[in-house]
Amino acid sequence: MPDPIQDRDRLNDVLSQVADAARRYLARVDELPAGGGAKRDEATRHFVGELPEDGNGSLATLTSLLTHGMEASTNSAGPRFFHFVTGGSTPAALAADWLASTLDNNAGVWISAPLGSRLEQVAIGWLKDLFGLPTDWGGVLTTGATMSNFTALAAARQWWGEEHGTNIAERGMSGLPAVPVLGSDFIHASVKKALSMLGIGHGQVRTPTLPSPGGGSRSSFLEALERDLKGLNGAPAIVIATAGEVNAGGFDPIGAMADLAHRYHAWLHVDGAFGLFARVSPVTADLAEGVERADSVIADGHKWLNVPYDCGFAFARDARLLNAVFGMGAPYFPTSEADHPDFLYLAPEMSRRARALAVWATLNAYGRRGYRAMIERHVALAKRLADQIRASSDFELLAEPRLNVVCFRYRPVDVPEGELDEINRRLGQAIIADGTVYFGTTVYAGKVAFRPAVANWRTTERDVDVIVPIARELATRIGAGRLSPT
Mean pLDDT along residues 241-251: 96
User: What percentage of the chain carries pLDDT values higher than 90?
Assistant: 89
Check if the beta carbon of residue 191 is closer than 8 Å to that of residue 185: no
Span 51-88, pLDDT tens digits: 999 899 999 999 999 999 999 999 999 999 999 999 99
Query: Could you give the strand order of the β-sheet that contains 447-450, starting from the edge strand earlier in sequence?
Result: 395-399, 407-410, 447-450, 441-444
How far apart, in whole angstroms, are the C-alpha atoms of residue 103 and residue 94? 14
Q: What is the pLDDT of residue 478?
A: 84
Instruction: Detail the DSSP E strand segments found in 280-329.
Output: 296-300, 312-316
pLDDT digits (tens, 9 = 90+) for 289-341: 999 999 999 999 999 999 999 999 999 999 999 999 999 877 777 777 778 99
Q: Which long-range contacts (CB under 8 A, 24 or more apart) does 117-120 make?
A: 117/340, 117/341, 117/342, 117/343, 117/356, 119/354, 119/356, 119/357, 119/359, 119/360, 120/341, 120/343, 120/354, 120/356, 120/359, 120/360
Can you tell me the distance from the alpha carbon of 385 to that of 365, in angstroms, rounded to the nearest whole number? 29
How confident is the model at residue 349, as a pLDDT? Answer: 95
> Each residue of 188-238: pLDDT tens digit?
999 999 999 999 999 999 987 654 334 567 889 999 999 999 999 999 999
CA distance 485 to 481: 9
β strands within 198-265, DSSP E: 205-206, 237-242
